[in-house]
Amino acid sequence: MELVKRPDNMERITTKALADKFIDEQVAAVRAQVGDKQVLLALSGGVDSSVVAALLIKAIGKQLVCVHVNHGLMRKGESEQVIEVFGKQLDANLIYIDATDRFLDKLADVSEPEKKRKIIGAEFIEVFNEEAKKLQGISFLAQGTIYPDILESDGVKAHHNVGGLPEDMAMELVEPVALLYKDEVRVVGSALGLPDDMVYRQPFPGPGLGVRCLGAITRDRLEALREADAILREEFDKNGLAGKVWQYFIAVPDVKSVGVRDSKRYEGWPAIIRAVNTTDAMSATIEEIPYALLHHITDRITHEVEGINRVLYDLTPKPIGTIEWE
């Protein structure tokens, strides 16, 4: 497919004034594109989809139908938070779908990263198509695609918003922030009045923990990953790192090593900590985490999470390593 390129003369959005101008332009463009039809939005609750939701609500109000799909690959407590923030606080037109078994069954025994991404992306569209059939007047699918997604889909990796769409999809796409970098999306989100804890929340890939549970996903390893990741996020929050580190998470490979627990031989998976800083997601540097905190996190994960017996720290910048492992 031909990828859209950001114009060379497009000014970087760094101020509220520039964000307001962008918002006005996109509101007009969305209204012209959509007319009086309804739009279905894949609302993960992440920064990108949240900003798109706020922008579309400003543009078309109740014509927007937000659908949150729990694919079983969310972080701990995340779906509950989406329901609280969007369903209750923002009064969005929100539909919640628990498709955990459906996704995990499709991903069973699939180890190739690109295939996993394509399966997750295609299944998302299937769910949305099915939901659209239950509603009247749904003609458009909104997505939180941003510019690094487009760039990285051209030779680096398939993105669920870029490379995973079936050609016969019945809905036309609405992608109002597709030419923006992550830092610009945050500026726009603030200008739209979204709360800081939403605008500056941790980036989370569309395929979710599916690209952090490395190799073929199993439910026990996925649950171990979810619990270890929750501990990491809790400790970063408590120790003042949440606002200093752009992205931090756990990846768990499909590899076991021998360890000792309760004076007995114990085989378990390693939990790999990834903590990076970046402004545009195209390059990233490694954040130096105090050793005392790393030791504390290691102690908690290895003692509290069933199946994990080692904790590693990834020191690879981008480039040469991508931010995600898959």
pLDDT at position 137: 74
Mean pLDDT value across residues 169-195: 91
Which amino acid, 61?
A: G
Show the DSSP H helices in the chain as ranges. 16-34, 47-60, 78-82, 100-107, 113-134, 147-152, 182-191, 196-199, 219-238, 291-304
Sign of CA dihedral 28, 32, 36, 39: negative
* Weakest-pLDDT range from 33-37, 101-105, 112-116, 199-203: 199-203
pLDDT (tens digit, 9 = 90+) per residue, 208-249?
Answer: 999 999 999 999 999 999 999 999 999 999 999 988 998 999
Give pLDDT, residue 195: 82
- Domains in the chain with CATH codes: 16-199 (3.40.50.620), 212-313 (3.30.300.10)
Q: What is the pTM for the complete model shown?
A: 0.77
Q: What is the pLDDT of residue 160?
A: 43
Stretch 71-98: mean pLDDT: 87
Residue 100 pLDDT exceeds 80: yes
Q: What mean pLDDT comes out for the span 52-73?
A: 92
For residue 171, give both structure tokens.
């809905």
pLDDT band at 168 (very low <50, low <70, confident <90, very high): low
pLDDT at 165 over 70: no
The sign of the CA dihedral 130, 131, 135, 136 is: negative
C-alpha span between 222 and 253 (Å, rounded) = 10
Mean pLDDT throughout 9-28? 97
Higher-confidence residue: 149 or 76? 76
The answer, yes or no, to whether residue 119 has pLDDT greater than 90, is yes
Confidence band, pLDDT 50/70/90 cuts, at residue 1: very low
Q: Is the pLDDT of residue 98 over 60?
A: yes
User: How far apart (Å, rounded) are the C-alpha atoms in residues 164 and 137?
Assistant: 24
Conformation bin of residue 143: beta by default, left when phi > 0, alpha when psi is -120 to 50: beta
What amino acid is encoded at 17 in this protein? Answer: A
